Amino acid sequence: MSIDLSQFIPSFLEESFEGLELMESSLLNLEQGDDETINSIFRAAHSIKGGAGTFGFDNVTEFTHLVETLLDEMRDGRREIVQGDVEILLESVDCMRLLIESIQNDTDCDDEKIAITSSLLTQTLDGSVSTPVLDDATDNYSSTVKQNNTSITWVIEFIPEHHLVQTGNDPLFLFNALAELGSVEIEANSAELPSLNDMDPEELYLRWKITLVADTTEDDIKEIFEWVEDECELTISQELAGQSSEPESVKSEPELSVTEQNISAQQTEPSPAVSEEIKPAPSEEAVPAKPNKPVSPVASKPVKSKTDVGSIRVGVDKVDNLINLMGELVITQSMLSELGNDFDLSKVERLNTGLEQLLQNTKELQESVMRIRMLPISFAFNRFPRLIHDLSKKTGKQIELVLKGEQTELDKTVMEQIGDPLVHLVRNAVDHGIEPTETRIANGKPEQGVITLDAYHQGGSIVIEINDDGGGINRNAVFEKAVEKGVVEANSSLTDSQVFDLIFEPGFSTAKELSDISGRGVGMDVVKKNIQALGGRIQVESVEGQGSSFKVNLPLTLAILDGQLVRVGTEIYIIPLITIVESLQTQKNLINRVSGDMVLYRLREDNVPVLPIYQLFNLASDTTQVEDSLLVVVEADGQKVGLMVDDLLAQQQVVIKSLNDNYQQVEGISGATILGDGSVAMILDIPGIINIAQNSSRSNQYASANPEEVLP
Amino acid sequence: MENEQEYLTFLLNNEEFGIDILCVQEIRVWSSVTELPNKPEYIKGVINLRGVIIPIIDLRQRFGIPPLEYDEQTVTIILKNPSAEKQMVVGIVVDAVSEVYKFNQTSIRKAPEFGSQIDTCFLKGLASVEEKLVILLETQTLLNQEDLYSFNQTEPVEESHV
């Protein structure tokens, strides 16, 4: 299976820039003991690392890993947050941006700066650098180089062949690159210059002698000249340290340009490099076309573009369809308005037809608009084969990836947001799920581990399953870790699924060793947060020795919901249609009262707990007796409950409005909508309600000694 | 001139309160709200204001004053903070809207720190118009979700008989 990963690179870049911006702003506001901020910085770094790993941008992954390690120490409180470290981190953010920009623009980047920053990071991690030096160093890394006693004076003789500039190389870029290493002094030797008459303006006649004072190696210098190696004579020699021209070299940049101007003053230099500066070029010949990009990656820092609004690619047929529908809508509208001009009762018939047509048109239009946003989930899945390939190489585990249901369609926003969480889950499955080959063989399993990604529709939501046939989650290890982290009490008794849910706590990881694949415990809490932000849910199932299964439940779209309107007292609520199993009138003989308040209703083979909404929400209601009341049986997370309501009203599609914009999240309510008459109705959050009910029944048992505490 | 600020004043339990007029989006009559479940008494519910869902706060109850019956005269002031990154719109129910005054910054006196039922975090200062005293409210905190929606639980006396 070959997949063109490059189509996803733009979205990675976009996400990364967002992450970097977040890191930067958070770093600037970072204070001691500010866990949330440092966690968010860490998450941003982690996501960038993950993405870079997927696309094989190893330099980004390596660099970010260092940053992440430092952040991890800060997060765990092993390292105090001092300004010097924050400076280094900021510098690192710049480096990461450079690296990512270089991917974006497909240019080389300032390797030297990155090398220096990463060595600073390493030193900081080793704890060998004192803070004041760091401040300086990060302020301007070249000044560190100067302060550093290990600076060596290099003398480079650079004699290019005459045709060097024709191959698209420009000595100026080389010198700029050298200037980034340290301070340079450049002398041009124009002895070879022929007289103006004999001169070919497309040839290069100059040679240079460069004195470089820098803490660098011969290899680094050679690397700069790598592209012109075959087209010049290059001698690199080392002058003895000590006699370096430290004071002069401070103004290395001006020196460089002064020298250039000296040359140009002679007005004899036909090199394109200089003719750029002294346009028009002395020779009336056109400046030779330069095939290389005119922007030197080191000299130009592209202006950071604002993250633009996401775009979507839509087939022309879909747009044509929309225009058609739009046309019909306009026709209907004009027909209706004509009808209204002088309306009398004889036209009622036509009015009704018109309204019906309007309804039809609106529906179709809505559907087509929604379809524009739908994309097959393969867009999210396609990055995994490469990921698995790389990971299995890295870990030495043999893994087969099985993709199913790739054509399942999903809203674009949901798709974009779900990518990262899925990467985390798959990485986790590889790293923690699948056991090393020897263990597998010892346990009588096939050598090759299998990870399955499956997507399918279930009601109005989409389910993505990530299954592995690995070792499963070690219940005890998770529990012990949770106790150690203080998440749960040592003597508390939890069900298996409650224990597995603990892995979604921040900073939770049972992996013994850190790796750059996963294992810092950052992934899972981000995964859960992201999924919840989408209005989705994640469930874990695991059988020790047989593997784990993560089930991600997502809404198909974030904007519209099919709802059942119900009335409780004077209030109207909306129950998402997908959660409703059935609605029924209760029959007395099927009602069972169990201990305390709990009422169970016998629904064929099931016993369904009855939750009166008026009680949950403290409302006045018409019916307070379960007998002969209306029960809407809903299901969420595999749990069925019967919601007791006063009346069942219409079913309709509602547009979801957030309550969070101007207010806060309300327990048991997932959002609000505006009904046809302009009033606001709440949309019930069924899993949330079940949760409230379970919690209150648990505290009911707990507080049975003083029951008035829990009863409303 | 530049030190002058305009304030919309309103009545609450016969006291006159002032609020920066730049934060006032509009003034509406009371319209019925949709209740939010299990929320403090002072949060009356939400309304639909041209497609945006806005919470409505009874300022009397928020400030620990017994509420009045709502009728056609009841006024809701829709506030929004104009500058903050996170836009927030909220409606407050008051007894009546009174006047618009101009106050010079220098004429605003600091409010006493205590001796008031009102959470001091909402107080900006006091200004006097002729013989009256106007209590100016701090819009920064009034339009801050955390301050506005966290009720001081140590003063439940006023709340309980509601």
pLDDT of A580: 85
Cα A623 from Cα A625, distance rounded (Å): 6
Do A239 and A361 belong to one domain?
A: no
pLDDT 10s digits, A312-344? 667 788 888 889 889 989 998 898 888 888 888
Confirm or reject contact between B47 and chain A (CB < 8 A): yes
Nearest to A120, CA basis, from A100, A94, A91, A147: A91
Is residue A195, in this structure, part of any structural domain at all?
yes
ipTM metric? 0.71
Is residue A286, in this structure, part of any structural domain at all?
no
Which H/E stretch holds residue B133?
strand B132-137
Residue/partner pairs of B13-17 with CB below 8 Å, 24 or more apart: B13/B60, B13/B65, B13/B95, B15/B135, B16/B98, B16/B132, B16/B133, B16/B134, B16/B135, B17/B94, B17/B134, B17/B135, B17/B136, B17/B137
Residues of chain A numbered 672-691 and touching chain B (CB < 8 Å): 672, 674, 678-682
- The residues that bridge with B16 in the sheet, in sequence order, are B11, B134
Do A512 and A625 belong to one domain?
A: no
pLDDT 10s digits, A613-657? 887 787 777 777 777 788 888 887 667 888 888 888 888 888 887
With an 8 Å Cβ cutoff, are A657 and B53 in contact?
A: yes
pLDDT of A477: 80
Q: Which residues of B touch A617 (CB under 8 A)?
A: 37-38
Q: Tell me how close the Cα of A560 comes to any Cα of chain B, in angstroms.
A: 15
Do A485 and A621 belong to one domain?
A: no
The last residue of one of the domains, among A334, A351, A372, is A372
How many residues are there in chain A?
712
pLDDT of A697: 67
Q: Residues of chain A with pLDDT > 90: what percent?
A: 1
Q: Which of B35, B54, B145 sits opposite A664 (nearest CB)?
A: B145
- Hey, what are B47's tokens? 């309304």
Taking 80 as the threshold, does the pLDDT of residue B90 lie above it? yes
Could you tell me how many CB contacts below 8 A there are between chain A and chain B? Answer: 66
Taking 60 as the threshold, does the pLDDT of residue B113 lie above it? yes
Helices (H), A276-347: 316-341
Which H/E stretch holds residue A653?
strand A647-655
Q: How many domains does chain A have?
A: 5
Do A518 and A432 belong to one domain?
A: yes
Confirm or reject contact between B132 and chain A (CB < 8 A): no
Residue B55's Cβ-count burial label (10 Å; 0-12, 13-18, 19+) is buried
pLDDT of A139: 40
Confirm or reject contact between B49 and chain A (CB < 8 A): no
Cα nearest neighbour of B56 on chain A: A663
Question: In which band, very low, low, confident or very high, does the pLDDT at B162 lie, cut at 50, 70 and 90?
Answer: very low
Is residue A283, in this structure, part of any structural domain at all?
no
* Residues in contact with A651: Cβ distance below 8 Å, sequence separation at least 6, in sequence order: A562, A563, A564, A565, A577
Residues of chain B numbered 56-85 and touching chain A (CB < 8 Å): none
With an 8 Å Cβ cutoff, are B32 and A679 in contact?
A: yes
Give the sheet arrangement for strand A669-674, strand by strand. Answer: A647-655, A560-568, A571-576, A680-684, A669-674
pLDDT of A296: 38
Nearest to A526, CA basis, from A429, A377, A424: A424
Question: For the residues B32-40, what does the mean pLDDT come to?
Answer: 80
Measured from the Cβ of residue B113, the count of other Cβ atoms closer than 10 Å reads 8
With an 8 Å Cβ cutoff, are B145 and A617 in contact?
A: no
Confirm or reject contact between B96 and chain A (CB < 8 A): no
**A683: CATH:** 2.40.50.180
Q: How far is CA A446 from the centre of its chain?
A: 34
Confirm or reject contact between A617 and chain B (CB < 8 A): yes
Nearest to B90, CA basis, from B44, B125, B124: B44
Cα A55 from Cα A99, distance rounded (Å): 14
Q: Which of A617, A662, A664 sits opposite B37 (nearest CB)?
A: A617
Is residue A572, in this structure, part of any structural domain at all?
yes
Cα A248 from Cα A276, distance rounded (Å): 27
Q: Which of A667, A668, A680 sits opposite B53 (nearest CB)?
A: A680
**A193: CATH:** 3.30.70.1110
Give the range of the structural domain holding residue A656, as residue numbers without chain letter: 560-709
pLDDT 10s digits, A36-67? 788 888 888 888 888 888 788 888 888 888 88
Is residue A299, in this structure, part of any structural domain at all?
no
Do A586 and A697 belong to one domain?
A: yes
The last residue of one of the domains, among A224, A256, A275, is A275
Residue A188's Cβ-count burial label (10 Å; 0-12, 13-18, 19+) is buried
Q: How far is CA A517 from the centre of its chain?
A: 16
Cα nearest neighbour of B46 on chain A: A680
Contact A141, A116 (CB under 8 A): yes
Q: Phi first, then psi: give them for residue A85, nearest 5 degrees.
A: -65, -40
Q: Which residues of B touch A657 (CB under 8 A)?
A: 51-53
Cα A141 from Cα A143, distance rounded (Å): 5
**A522: CATH:** 3.30.565.10
Residue type for B60, please? R
Contact A511, A499 (CB under 8 A): no
With an 8 Å Cβ cutoff, are B46 and A672 in contact?
A: yes
Q: Which residues of A touch B50 (CB under 8 A)?
A: none
Residue type for B162, please? V
**A80: CATH:** 1.20.120.160
Cα A236 from Cα A222, distance rounded (Å): 8
Nearest to A211, CA basis, from A242, A175, A159, A164: A175
Cα A225 from Cα A242, distance rounded (Å): 26
Q: How far is CA A607 from the centre of its chain?
A: 43
According to CATH, the superfamily of the domain at B4-152 is CheA-289, Domain 4 (2.40.50.180)
Do A158 and A239 belong to one domain?
A: yes
* Residues in contact with A507: Cβ distance below 8 Å, sequence separation at least 6, in sequence order: A39, A75, A76, A485, A521, A522, A525
Confirm or reject contact between A661 and chain B (CB < 8 A): yes
Q: How far is CA A486 from the centre of its chain?
A: 29
Contact A223, A174 (CB under 8 A): no
pLDDT of A3: 64
Do A344 and A416 belong to one domain?
A: no
Q: Which residues of A touch B34 (CB under 8 A)?
A: 571, 672, 679-682
The last residue of one of the domains, among A372, A395, A415, is A372
- The residues that bridge with A550 in the sheet, in sequence order, are A466, A540
Helix (H/G/I), strand (E/B), else coil: A198: coil
Do A531 and A622 belong to one domain?
A: no
- Hey, what are A589's tokens? 């003989």
- Hey, what are A291's tokens? 């095939």
Taking 50 as the threshold, does the pLDDT of residue B141 lie above it? yes
Q: Is the peptide bond before A436 cis (omega within 30 degrees of 0)?
A: no
Cα A708 from Cα A710, distance rounded (Å): 6
Contact A198, A229 (CB under 8 A): no
| A contact test, residue of B25, B53, B92, B145 with most A CBs within 10 A | B53
* Residues in contact with A25: Cβ distance below 8 Å, sequence separation at least 6, in sequence order: none
Taking 60 as the threshold, does the pLDDT of residue B13 lie above it? yes
Do A525 and A618 belong to one domain?
A: no
Q: Which of B34, B52, B88 sits opposite A571 (nearest CB)?
A: B34
pLDDT of B11: 86
With an 8 Å Cβ cutoff, are A681 and B35 in contact?
A: no
pLDDT of B85: 61
Which residue is listed with tokens 């947001």? A417
Q: What is the pTM of this model?
A: 0.45
* Residues in contact with B119: Cβ distance below 8 Å, sequence separation at least 6, in sequence order: B63, B147, B152
Do A551 and A574 belong to one domain?
A: no
Q: Tell me how close the Cα of A572 comes to any Cα of chain B, in angstroms.
A: 9
Do A249 and A396 belong to one domain?
A: no
Question: In which band, very low, low, confident or very high, does the pLDDT at B150 lie, cut at 50, 70 and 90?
Answer: low
Directed axis angle between helix A83-105 and helix A111-126, to 10°?
150
Q: Which residues of B touch A659 (CB under 8 A)?
A: 46, 53
Confirm or reject contact between B162 and chain A (CB < 8 A): no
Taking the alpha carbons at both ends of chain B, their separation in whole angstroms is 45
Cα A384 from Cα A393, distance rounded (Å): 14
Measured from the Cβ of residue A663, the count of other Cβ atoms closer than 10 Å reads 24
With an 8 Å Cβ cutoff, are B34 and A679 in contact?
A: yes
Do A454 and A498 belong to one domain?
A: yes
Nearest to A429, CA basis, from A475, A374, A386, A388: A388
Taking 50 as the threshold, does the pLDDT of residue B106 lie above it? yes
Cα A189 from Cα A184, distance rounded (Å): 16
pLDDT of A421: 84
**Spans of chain A below 70 pLDDT:** 1-4, 29, 31-33, 127-151, 167-168, 227, 239-313, 459-460, 507-523, 533, 535, 557-559, 595-596, 637-638, 697-712
Count H helices and E strands in chain B, helices first. 4, 10
